[in-house]
A and B are shown apart, each in its own frame.
Chain A
Amino acid sequence: MSDHLIDLVDISKSFDGQLVLDEMNLYIRENEFVTLLGPSGCGKTTTLRIIGGFETPDTGKVLFNGADITGLPAYKRQLNTVFQRYALFPHLTIAENIAFGLKIKKKSRDYIRDKIKYSLKLVNLEGYEDRMPDSLSGGQQQRIAIARAIVNEPKVLLLDEPLGALDLKLRQEMQYELIRLKNEIGITFIYVTHDQEEALTMSDTIVVMNQGYIQQIGTPEAIYNEPENAFVADFIGDSNILDGIMIQDRLVEILGTRMACVDAGFGLNKPVDVVIRPEDVELTGPGEGAMDGVVTSVIFKGVHYEMEVEANGFEWLVQSTHMHEVGAHVGLRVEPDNIQIMNKPESEDEKAVELDV
């Protein structure tokens, strides 16, 4: 028996002849916080809706605990969804909203009352039973939507950009709230977002998607530190993405300068993509680094300065706590293990990894 709770097998889906998902395969383990991350139109929401039962895939199967649920209607699935725009029933009170699913399942009155109380406590909105949804703020409505979903004790909670409509501060608060909730009720969360920061903060596993393909699956650390292709590198955080040539194992040439790195197995003189995070570029005195450059702009960002440095014809993005004046001559140095080497896309399919941002 595997520990897979949900398996997506060869899922394809197109709308009006436009392919949204192409033979996608993905499994989700029990009690995992999985985030589907990608730009709009990447197929993440469609994936979620297929799991939720709101869309039927054109091909492929959805397995739940190993059983095929592809044709099972949404109302028979052991999952619940938190919708992007909350989708609270405007004609029902908060308590009636939360009780909706339980009443359908013909639970006893006492059970329902207890559950309402418990769930409102869980989302920190005790005493809101008799309010109407439209009298609540966006953040509060979102908490009610979560409460309404989890009282049904689903095996999996699907969240479709639940924080998208909230302002920045509330969004950050809700991120911690969601992590706490996840730990308290101990179920699987599948979370859809286009916000990389949300994904990095909350997830156990991130699935990066673009144009209907999965680009990379991994822990937040792995996704950030070892992006598998230029798309992931560019989408997650800021980065310097350069053309390079792998001269031999552990030696790469970037912008005409040979630099030591830790990657191997690419072959000899192979064109590659090179990713260097801006915080990994160290600024030294001129002549002391791998190459020399001139600072062209400086912006104070609070915790660090963000500078652009022109060196060997490339505009480097550099983050540092030390400020260098515009026009200052500097040297650039990168530690070998901070240089990330990636294969260039080859096949037609991998077109998807090209940057269109």
Chain B
Amino acid sequence: MKKAFSKVYLLLVFLFLYVPIVIMMALSFNASKSRAVWAGFSTKWYEELWRSASIMDAVKNTFTIALISSAAATVLGVLACIGIMAMSRRGKTVTMAVNNIPLLNADIVTGLSLMLTYVFFGISLGYGTIVFAHITFNVPYVILSVMPRLKNSSRSTYEAAMDLGASPVRAFFAVVMPEIMPGIVSGFLLSFSMSIDDFIITYFTKGAGVNTISTMIYTQVRRGIVPSMYALSTILFVLVMVLLLITNFAPAAKSRDDSKKGK
């Protein structure tokens, strides 16, 4: 009874989350541009995708911005974590409080405040202003993922490395780095996907002529979406799904046996 309920419930949640996605995917194969009419199966939107310079530009922008900003955020964030750990209690609290502002504040306010600043100081909006904005909201995610790891990494192994003659820098790379690596990786991936998915902050900090996938879709909403955007999203979605399947299921199947060894 209880089992049946959970199964049905999970299924409903699944449908709720995936029906819109399936609809998008279906539309990417619709021969008609109209979303109300099914005019037969076609892959023409996929073909058009490669030919559209503006879409390809948006794709390139989206991924380069995400890559640059999350890489920069990872470096800034990891350095900051080490620095913050060495701070006094008070310094730690203040720094972490400011660090949390972009996480807790409304995206619209973060975006607007950055835009006002750029304009006020005469920085013209464009590709660079988006990158700066993305770094700003990405670093907190890196710090959130790395900080707990760094806190838990044992001081004694670091000291043992120095005792054995390693310089502090060398000891850090030899001992601490491997311990916090999972945090760094997940921080990087988290900020990368946050950057890809962001619309609001990009919307306010981008200049004319620069588009990411998100802002491109938004401007198309009123004029009618070019179905190539559905095609593009479908490709991205399937790509990520395959990646997730590989990374999640391969190790999961193994560890599952070990975890369930009751007495």
A-side interface residues toward B, CB under 8 Å? 15-16, 20, 40-41, 43-46
Complex Cα gap A46–B263 (Å)? 7
Within B159-199, the residues touching A (CB, 8 Å) are none
12 A-B interface contacts by CB (under 8 A): A15-B260, A15-B262, A16-B260, A20-B262, A20-B263, A40-B263, A41-B263, A43-B263, A44-B263, A45-B263, A46-B262, A46-B263
Cβ–Cβ < 8 Å partners of A44 in chain B? 263
Question: Total A-B pairs in contact (CB under 8 Å)?
Answer: 12
**Which chain B residue has the least Cβ–Cβ distance from A160?**
B263
**1/0 contact string of B234-263 vs chain A (CB within 8 Å):** 000000000000000000000000001011
Once the chains are docked, how many angstroms separate the CA of A20 from the CA of B263?
8
Quote the shortest CB–CB distance from B262 to chain A (angstroms).
Answer: 5
The count of residues in chain B whose C-beta lies closer than 8 Å to any C-beta of chain A is: 3
In the docked arrangement, what's the CA distance between A41 and B260, Å?
A: 13
What is the bound-complex CA distance between A45 and B262, given in angstroms?
A: 10
A41 to B261, CA, bound (A): 9
CB within 8 Å of A: which of B44-66?
none
How many angstroms between the C-alpha atoms of A46 and B261 in the bound complex?
Answer: 13
A295 to B262, CA, bound (A): 44
Other than the given A43-B263, A45-B263, 7 more pairs (CB < 8 A) read A15-B262, A20-B262, A40-B263, A41-B263, A44-B263, A46-B262, A46-B263
* CB-based nearest A residue for B262: A15
B2 to chain A, nearest CB (A): 13
User: In the complex, A46 Cα to B260 Cα: how many Å?
Assistant: 14
Q: What CA separation (Å) do A41 and B263 show in the bound complex? A: 5
CA separation between A44 and B263, bound complex, in Å?
Answer: 8
Q: How far is the CA of A15 from the CA of B260 in the complex (A)?
A: 9
Residues of B close to A20: CB separation below 8 A:
262-263
Distance in angstroms from A83 CB to nearest chain B CB is 14
Q: How far is the CB of B120 from chain A (nearest CB, A)?
A: 49
Q: Which chain A residues border B262 with CB–CB below 8 Å?
A: 15, 20, 46
Q: Roughly how many angstroms separate A20 CA and B262 CA in the complex, as a whole number? A: 9
Distance to closest chain B CB from A70 (angstroms): 19
Shortest beta-carbon distance from B263 to chain A in Å: 5
Query: Digit string of B104-134 for contact with A (CB within 8 Å is 1, else 0)?
Result: 0000000000000000000000000000000
Q: Chain A residues near B263: list those with CB within 8 A.
A: 20, 40-41, 43-46
Alpha-carbon distance between A46 and B262 when the two chains are bound, in angstroms: 9
A40 contacts across to B, CB distance below 8 A: 263
In the complex the two chains form, what is the Cα distance from A44 to B262 in whole Å?
A: 12
Report the Cα distance A301→B103, complex, angstroms: 62
Which residue of the partner chain A has the closest CB to B260? A16
Nearest CB of B to A34, in Å: 18
Complex contacts, A16 vs chain B, CB 8 Å:
260
The residues of B that contact A46 with a CB separation of less than 8 Å are 262-263
Cα separation A45 to B181 with both chains bound (whole Å): 38
Residues of A within 8 A of B260 (CB): 15-16
Bound CA span A15–B263, Å: 9
Residues of B within 8 A of A41 (CB): 263
- Contact code string B136-168 (vs A, CB < 8 Å = 1, else 0): 000000000000000000000000000000000
B257 CB to nearest A CB, Å: 9
Nearest CB of A to B1, in Å: 14
Q: Kindly report which residue of chain B lies nearest to residue A49, judged by CB atoms.
A: B263
Complexed CA–CA distance, A145 and B189 (Å): 44
Rounded to whole angstroms, the CA-CA distance of A200 and B260 in the bound complex is 32
> Which residue on B lies nearest to A42, using beta carbons?
B263
Kindly state the separation between the CA atoms of A43 and B262 in the bound complex, as whole angstroms.
10
0 or 1 for each of B13-34: is its CB under 8 Å from A? (1 = yes)? 0000000000000000000000
In the complex, the chain B residue whose C-beta lies closest to that of A16 is B260
* A43 CB contacts on chain B under 8 angstroms: 263
A2 to B262 CA separation, bound complex (whole angstroms): 34
User: Distance in Å from the Cβ of B180 to the closest Cβ of chain A?
Assistant: 27
Q: How far is the CA of A242 from the CA of B263 in the complex (A)?
A: 31
What's the nearest-Cβ distance from chain B to residue A321, in Å? 40
Distance in angstroms between the alpha carbons of A215 and B237 in the assembled complex: 59
User: For the complex, what is the distance from the CA of A15 to the CA of B262, rounded to whole Å?
Assistant: 7
Alpha-carbon gap, A15 to B257, bound state (A): 12
For A44, the closest partner residue in chain B by CB is B263
Give chain B nearest CB distance to A84 CB in angstroms: 10
Closest to A15 in B: B262
Which 5 pairs from chain A and chain B are nearest by CB?
Answer: A45-B263, A15-B262, A41-B263, A46-B263, A16-B260
In the complex the two chains form, what is the Cα distance from A43 to B263 in whole Å?
A: 6
Tell me how far the C-beta of B191 lies from the nearest C-beta in chain A, rounded to whole angstroms: 33
In the bound complex, how far is the Cα of B262 from the Cα of A40, in angstroms? 10
Smallest CB-CB separation from B263: which chain A residue? Answer: A45
Nearest B-chain residue to A13, judged by Cβ = B262
Roughly how many angstroms separate A191 CA and B51 CA in the complex, as a whole number? Answer: 75
**Complex CA–CA separation, A45 to B263 (angstroms):** 7
With the chains together, A289 CA to B263 CA distance in Å? 46
Residues of B contacting A15 with CB < 8 Å? Answer: 260, 262
Q: Give Cα A16–Cα B262 distance, bound, in whole angstroms.
A: 9
CB distance from B91 to the nearest CB of A (A): 28
Docked Cα-Cα span, A314 to B263, in Å, equals: 36
| Minimum C-beta distance from B142 to chain A (A) | 31
**Chain B's nearest CB lies how many Å from the CB of A158?**
15
Q: Report Cα–Cα, A40/B263, bound state, in Å.
A: 7
Q: Which residue of B lies closest to A46 (CB)?
A: B263
| Minimum distance in angstroms from B3 CB to a CB of chain A | 15
Nearest-neighbour CB distance to chain B for A101, whole angstroms, equals: 24
Please give the distance in Å from B230's CB to the nearest CB on chain A: 44
Point out the residues of chain B lying under 8 angstroms from A45, CB to CB.
263
Distance (whole angstroms) from the CB of A22 to the closest CB of chain B:
15
